[in-house]
Structure 1
């Protein structure tokens, strides 16, 4: 059976789900989105994702045609119609159909899409043995331009860096900001461990403040691990005791080599393993129930 996709109040089989070619999300990347995970019949951190989606829409002056409660029900109903317990959900709000000019005033009504399906971002062996990443020459968007804290449909900055990773044969690429500080990867936040302290870049360096990132910070604090948000350079990554990435699709995955340099002994570290174990336990029980 084809998956059912929500488009502007109705559900369509995958093959019939369509938006206008004049939609400014398609023409200009004018919109926002969220990637959300469901585990064991529960949607993880659904409220936080919905809040971030609406904040992003407010930031680009899109008036979402649904309340947060209605949007929450859209997510849950999409999962129910597809009989999913474990899934990746994509919520999209675009400016809607307009003309071939870029003026947002020409778009009369936003488009809302919800897709629920499966996703596998990295091979399982990378979660066990760790991954090797490179640093992209592409720099992170400046907050004064397209602020990375808005999860916009314009992901070309991330895609340019991902292309560099592909060309280098690496699964991910590290992005620096214009001041040479580490920001994040193309689709994941980054953490390093030094002398038992978990360190991650602060929002102002140009990152998307990840829902999984925040869940990991909370998990670390529960485990008694000290957490610091502070700027650092590639040198601190090269000389770190441990390194790992986090994201909704990726969850938490160890990094064992950056730009050809092994992180410590080149194996996932003990704090990384501890945090990943705690996160896996968390997603088993926390979340909004799909089937009540």
Structure 2
């Protein structure tokens, strides 16, 4: 068998030739390693010896842009900084400079609706586990097209089951690291089981989280409840949704808002169950392990919370306008 030895120009040509469907949604990428922005998907690359690639050594955030406004931008950047700090990873630039790079890359992408995939890596420099071999931390930002869930999904809800993948250790669960093997396996099992999501359960029998989403519920007393943050990531959209829910409490739609340990039995007895995340907003769960939840349709509070969140994305105080 003949194996070609490629020249740099041949490699660049092949990278641009090898297109696939998903690349159509990759609008622009900024890279500190390249020192700028590219709009060519085939050239949106990361060095193979970057610890992000071969060790998952980095942190990341996914930020949604709706109608030209980046939702919860500051909260995402602060969580990114917190995650990086926990693993001793120095950011390649201050947060205010990072904001400017984000704005400029979105401008180049020429879109008002997108999901920003922001990665901070330990950087290239070798293939061992030694983080000190890396030259310097790097930032990679990819602006991708945002495709919302169909409205039918919000009316009829989604099917959820119990995950067989062991939850992350409590300390690691609080860090949004790029080592997402457990999350990938959770998504794989949900697809294999023909479910929309699976939910982790810790050794004590308490619910944790889904692959990339949080689960919350309205209990039989009309209290909005989220799991304790002991072994789950502090979801920015979930936390903002709970802030917005204060208005529902004041209006009498809820009797309380709290955080406590939740079990599968709590799901079965709940009036409503919801998945909350950056890309899906507030999505009702209408079936868990084959059993109907609530009425089997979107609940009243789910619909109200979804409306509050979407309004907040467009004109709320947490929506940061992206300069044109």
Could you say which TM-score interval applies, normalised by the shorter chain? over 0.9
Shift in Å, 1:291 = 2.1
Q: How many Å separate the matches in 2 of 1:28 and 1:90?
A: 19
**Corresponding position: 1:96 with 2:128:** no
Secondary structure at 2:125 match in 1: coil
CA deviation string 1:201-242 (max 9, x = no partner): 1111x1111110011001111222321100011110111110
Aligned to 2:141: 114
Matched ranges for 1:255-274 at <5 A = 255-274=285-304
Aligned to 1:7: 31
**Corresponding position: 1:210 with 2:225:** no
Matched ranges for 1:119-268 at <5 A = 119-120=146-147, 122-144=149-171, 147-194=172-219, 195-204=221-230, 206-224=231-249, 225=254, 226-268=256-298
Shift in Å, 1:250 = 1.4
Q: Are the equivalent residues in 1 in contact too, given 2:216–2:273 (CA < 8 A)?
A: yes
Shift in Å, 1:198 = 0.4
Shift in Å, 1:64 = 0.7
Secondary structure at 2:105 match in 1: helix
TM-score, normalised via structure 1 length? 0.95
Shift in Å, 1:82 = 0.8
Secondary structure at 2:63 match in 1: strand
Q: How many Å separate the matches in 2 of 1:159 and 1:196?
A: 33
Shift in Å, 1:51 = 0.3
Stretches of structure 2 that go unaligned for 5 or more consecutive residues are: 1-23
**Relative to 1, partners in 2 of residues 1:176 and 1:32: Cα closer, same or farther, differing over 3 Å?**
same
Q: How many Å separate the matches in 2 of 1:32 and 1:122?
A: 26
Q: Are the equivalent residues in 1 in contact too, given 2:28–2:144 (CA < 8 A)?
A: no
Q: Are the equivalent residues in 1 in contact too, given 2:217–2:273 (CA < 8 A)?
A: yes
Matched ranges for 1:20-59 at <5 A = 20-59=47-86
Shift in Å, 1:139 = 2.1
Q: How many Å separate the matches in 2 of 1:31 and 1:121?
A: 27
Shift in Å, 1:124 = 3.7
The structure that has the greater radius of gyration is 2
Stretches of structure 1 that go unaligned for 5 or more consecutive residues are: none
Q: Are the equivalent residues in 2 in contact too, given 1:142–1:178 (CA < 8 A)?
A: no
Q: How many aligned residue pairs are there?
A: 289
From 288, 291, 305, give the equivalent of 1:275: 305
**Relative to 1, partners in 2 of residues 1:289 and 1:122: Cα closer, same or farther, differing over 3 Å?**
closer
Q: How many Å separate the matches in 1 of 2:46 and 2:213?
A: 28
Secondary structure at 1:133 match in 2: strand
Secondary structure at 2:200 match in 1: strand
Q: How many Å separate the matches in 2 of 1:120 and 1:83?
A: 16
Shift in Å, 1:18 = 1.7
